[in-house]
């Protein structure tokens, strides 16, 4: 089986999906992931400014590198599995970050309950955090890469 014969119709659809997902992951790392609201101040936090967010540009570049390797030097059987593993790892890391942010916000709100400062301003709490577009784009990019890798693996099983 040559490298050209391994490129089935599924691979032609899977590779652009993986590249688009990696592109979303890369762009989303530099877009606000979280917005913190404290009294009258709003602070956006980009992905690369977070604890875990510095890893995501490297994950996206590694996916691009694996895709370029596949395209240039043939279609090794291990590449879609490695790409899927990178996507699962990145998605797990992003979800873990989301859980940690929620836990930190709950701790801050719980510790501020006993304070004499009024915590309610116009019906809301004095401190809140909401996830922004970058966080959701990261998850969407990871999902796209994962779906593309699974399609690529399924296409290889038929060949």
Structural class in CATH, domain 9-158: mainly alpha
SS3 content of the chain, % helix, strand, coil (to 5): 65, 15, 20
**Predicted confidence (pLDDT) at residue 5 exceeds the cutoff of 90:** no
Reference 133, options 18, 5, 35; nearest CA is: 35
**Predicted confidence (pLDDT) at residue 124 exceeds the cutoff of 70:** no
pLDDT tens by residue, 59-112:
999 999 998 888 787 767 788 889 999 999 999 999 999 898 888 877 776 766
Instruction: Please report, for the chain, the start and end positions of each structural domain, with discontinuous segments joined by +.
Output: 9-158
Q: Report the C-alpha gap between 17 and 67 in whole angstroms.
A: 11
Alpha helices in 29-78 (DSSP H): 56-73
Q: Is the pTM of this model over 0.85?
A: no
Q: Which two tokens stand for residue 124?
A: 């809301």
> pLDDT value at position 58?
95
């Amino acid at each position: 089986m040559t490298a050209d014969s391994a490129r089935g119709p599924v691979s032609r659809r899977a590779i652009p999906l993986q590249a688009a997902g990696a592109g979303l992951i890369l762009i989303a790392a530099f877009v606000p992931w979280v917005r913190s609201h404290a009294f009258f101040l709003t602070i956006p936090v980009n992905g690369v400014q977070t604890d875990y967010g510095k890893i995501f540009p490297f994950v996206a570049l590694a996916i691009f590198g694996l895709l370029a390797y596949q395209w240039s030097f043939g279609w090794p059987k291990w590449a879609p599995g490695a790409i899927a593993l990178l996507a699962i790892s990145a998605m797990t890391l992003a979800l873990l970050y989301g859980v940690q942010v929620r836990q930190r916000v709950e701790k801050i709100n719980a510790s501020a309950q006993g304070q004499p400062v009024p915590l309610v301003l116009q019906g809301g709490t004095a401190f809140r955090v909401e996830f922004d577009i970058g966080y959701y784009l990261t998850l969407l990019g990871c999902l796209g890469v994962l779906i593309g890798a699974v399609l690529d693996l399924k296409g290889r099983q038929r060949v």
